[in-house]
Amino acid sequence: MEYKTEQEKFWAEEFGDEYSCRNTSIIKSNINFFSKVFSRVDNVNSVIEFGSNIGMNLHALSTISNLEISAIEINKTAVNELKKLNFLKKVYNESLLDINLDEKFDMTLIKGVLIHINPEYLDVVYEKLYNYSNRYILVAEYYNPTPVEIPYRGNEGKLFKRDFAGEMLDKYNDLKLVDYGFLYHRDNNFPQDDISWFLLEKR
């Protein structure tokens, strides 16, 4: 696979493998999170996740609703784990920057992935999140009101914070904000990374 950016290569290879091994313990917190989100949506029967890793979000989704679930993941090691999940409809081992799909989904989902996309290519991912959605887009990322880069586990150029959902609302006039919230690492029952989430809907 050829990559347009150093960030893609970073996640497709050894660091992405190591990440898969580290992140295996948040399914309970994810169930709580997605239960809140799904209390705010109507008639969602199909979901595709952009950047699924080994499926921690998808495991949770499979427990809260009878969904048709698909996944896009760049890292081959993670994809091998995803293919073991019998509740997934399709698994695409591709870059978000290159993938082209013929179908749409009731919800497109991205969680903790936009922060790792090269900022020059964010519009490409925004467009795919928008175009592949029939109705809802769920964005859950580190938030900052203005774009900023911060070091990520000793690596430069690998983590960027900004108002991703706000940029999508500005880019697409028919998107509206349905709900938003914050996941706190010191939550007594359902801790997660400090992520802000935004549920958007096509009008």
Domain spans, the chain: 6-202
- pLDDT computed for residue 11 by the predictor: 56
Return d(Cα 124, Cα 171) in angstroms, integer.
12
pLDDT of residue 22: 44
pLDDT digits (tens, 9 = 90+) for 16-42: 445 444 444 578 899 999 999 999 999
Q: Yes or no: is domain 6-202 CATH 3.40.50.150? A: yes
**pLDDT band with cut points at 50, 70 and 90 for residue 13:** low
Over pLDDT 70: what percentage of the chain?
A: 89
For the stretch 155-181, pLDDT in tens is: 777 799 999 999 999 999 999 999 999
Give the pLDDT of residue 201.
Answer: 98
Supply the DSSP string of the chain, one letter for each residue.
Answer: ---SSHHHHHHHSHHHHHHHHH--S-HHHHHHHHHHHHTT-SS--EEEEES-TT-HHHHHHHHHS--EEEEE-S-HHHHHHHTT-TTEEEEE-S-TTT---S--EEEEEEES-GGGS-GGGHHHHHHHHHHTEEEEEEEEE---SS-EE--BTTBSSS-EE--HHHHHHHH-TTEEEEEEEEE-TT-SSS---SEEEEEEEE-
Does position 4 have pLDDT exceeding 80, yes or no?
Answer: no
Instruction: Please state which of the ranges 102-111, 148-157, 191-200 shows the lowest mean pLDDT.
Output: 148-157
Task: State mean pLDDT over 139-157.
Answer: 89
Predicted pLDDT at 20: 46
The pLDDT, as a whole number, for residue 3 is 73
pTM assigned to the model: 0.88
pLDDT given at position 9:
59
Q: Beta 148-149 vs 105-111: how paired, if at all?
A: unpaired
